[in-house]
Chain A
Amino acid sequence: MMSLLFILFAGMAVGCAISMVAQRNPLYSAISLIGVFISLACLYVTLAAPFIAAVQVIVYAGAIMVLVVFVIMLLNVEAEERPMRLRSLIPIAVGLAAILFAEAIFIIFFVQASPSTPTDNISNVGLTSSIGAGLFTSYLLPFEITSVLLLMAIVGAMSLARRGGLVPPGAGIVPGDQVFSKELLDRRDIGDLSAVATHSTAEAARLLGVTRETETSNED
């Protein structure tokens, strides 16, 4: 029963991985990668590690790949045509693949596996309580360092995403108000303002000098 499940999930993982590499459309590659992650999560369950399986789905397939899929959609990455100029590298690729295959054969047949018993489900290493107990007592320092690492990633992303420097100090970006930068207003020669917060379209129009003398109002 276990070997049947293993063959099923491992086959799914390998199939999705081959599909991910062979697809030309990048979104299909991303979907295949999600399939790989979900198959790996199923394999973790058969290895009596349910917490890792659930966290794999939540974090990897459910959060990281969502961002990858968003990027592919928003940047409208096209399907790539096969470039002709790399034809000369095919023999080198075949040679490297043969070396990799030979290594895999060597490991399967000649490396002595340790005489281990099959995974028994009464072992409590993979349970959530064991992981939690270990994480907050003996592995506390790596845990805290990992959280600082994630904080660094967030701060780095935010500072990279600011366009053209920091927002000027007087600027208010509140829905309903409009903020005009100095470059936009300079040619109207209204002085040195780093930002002007207006409160209505009429005020903004007046500031930019685009009001008409004969404008009629709609509310009578």
Chain B
Amino acid sequence: MEELIHLVLVFVAILIAFTVVMTMFAYTTLTERRVLGFIQGRLGPNRVGPQGLLQPVADLIKLVCKEDIIPDKSTRFVYFLAPVIVTTTALMSVIVYPFGPEIHLPIIGTIQLVIARFDVALLYVLGVTSVGVYGIALAGWSSNNKYSLMGGLRSSAQMISYELALGLALIGVILQSGTLDLYRIVEQQSGHLGVTGWNVIWVQPLGFLIYLIAAIAETNRVPFDLPEAETELVAGFHTEYSAMKFGLFFVAEYLNMFTVSMLATTLFLGGWNGPFVHQLPWLGVFYFLGKVILFLLLYIWLRGTLPRFRFDQLMALGWKYLMPAAIFNIVLTATLQWLPVFDYVSKFLKTSAGFWG
């Protein structure tokens, strides 16, 4: 019976998380177009609703009603499977992120605001992003179009190269926290005022930087978006996809952005930690979502500002600079943990009995 209640709770939590994530996705597309417009000295779309707030609805209706063109000689099963793989793996990682601390609900009792809490949560996220590479490679190949194939192969080569730097950058956090469980990593980051314990401040600044660069490359965003640049390969691996299948790729790209932003928030920016979060637990959800939105604004800012890398520069950055830097970060973290001064300061910053935390 208790198992049944737990199962129902998990389903309700998945529904809520899915709704929140998809709404955030819809308004991130609008935010991106408006903010890019402001960076480029123009207004974005502001006609459809008040300040353009109904623009995502209009986009959705357009995408659903468009004609679905399927290339004749494409491999049908794989052509249909590729957007499914990408979207599914993008959505699967949301279940391990802790959205807030323990809250007390009237009938159900005390629950932790995380959908699934298990021992190897961080490895699960890495595994799911590894499987997401298949969608892109298969999409490029199954379109029966040599530009799509080149775009797909380049994109998946870029993703598997930067997965390496991403994983190595996370090892510093694992060394510091001693656990792979994301909930406990967030719990360990509560310090004074809920701010000083964050892993980016004293403990892992270099790891955060490496992770950020690797994450932007992993999600195929500017400045690393050569595989889907319009002047290079038409639209890369999703050239031959129209209507809702393109919509699924679009969704998957933004959901990947959400995944890496949520992971960065959880591991480096303290997750749901913030001022007064232990007195008012619901504030934790707002802090978490606020930090994720900060990362999304950073992504949009970078898109409006930076030119893109050439592909060989991109691969050289991933293999020749980021990976050695990540390995150096691991050695540095392990060495500094052994020094008593460093340990004392980090214990002072990360005390879980901090004031106003």
Which A residues form the contact surface with B (CB < 8 A)? 1, 25, 27-28, 31, 34, 38, 41, 50-51, 53-55, 57-58, 61-63, 65-66, 69-70, 73-74, 127-128, 175
A67 to chain B, nearest CB (A): 9
Chain B residues within an 8 Å CB radius of A25 = 75
155-211 of chain B: CB within 8 A of chain A = 156, 160, 180
Q: Name the A residues within 8 Å of B134 (CB-CB).
A: 34, 65-66, 69
Task: Indicate if B235 sits at the interface (CB-CB under 8 A).
Answer: no
Q: Is A73 in contact with B123, judged by CB distance below 8 angstroms?
A: no
A74 — which chain B residues lie within 8 A by C-beta?
A: 153
B118 interfacial contact with A, CB 8 Å: yes
Interchain CB contact under 8 A, B120 and A128: yes
- Judged by a CB distance under 8 angstroms, whether B338 is at the interface is no
Residues of B within 8 A of A50 (CB): 118-120
Are A58 and B126 closer than 8 Å at their CB atoms?
Answer: yes
Residue-wise interface mask of B (89-128) relative to A, using a CB-CB cutoff of 8 A (1 in contact, 0 not): 0000000000000000000000000000011100110111
Residues A128 and B126 in contact, CB atoms below 8 Å apart: no
B81 within 8 A of A: yes
Q: Which residues of B contact A (CB under 8 A)?
A: 3, 75, 77-78, 81, 118-120, 123-124, 126-128, 130-131, 133-134, 137-138, 141, 149, 153, 156, 160, 180, 310, 312
Distance (Å) between the CB of A76 and the closest chain B CB? 9
Contact (Cβ within 8 A) B123 A55: yes
Which residues of chain A are within 8 angstroms of B137 by Cβ–Cβ distance?
Answer: 66, 69-70, 73
Other than the given A63-B130, A69-B137, 17 more pairs (CB < 8 A) read: A27-B78, A31-B78, A31-B81, A38-B131, A50-B118, A50-B119, A54-B123, A54-B126, A54-B127, A58-B127, A61-B127, A62-B133, A66-B130, A66-B160, A73-B137, A73-B153, A127-B119
Q: List 27 A-B contacts (CB under 8 A).
A: A27-B75, A27-B138, A31-B138, A41-B127, A51-B119, A51-B123, A54-B126, A54-B127, A55-B123, A57-B127, A57-B128, A57-B131, A58-B123, A58-B126, A58-B127, A58-B130, A61-B131, A62-B130, A63-B160, A66-B156, A69-B134, A69-B138, A73-B149, A127-B119, A128-B123, A128-B180, A175-B312
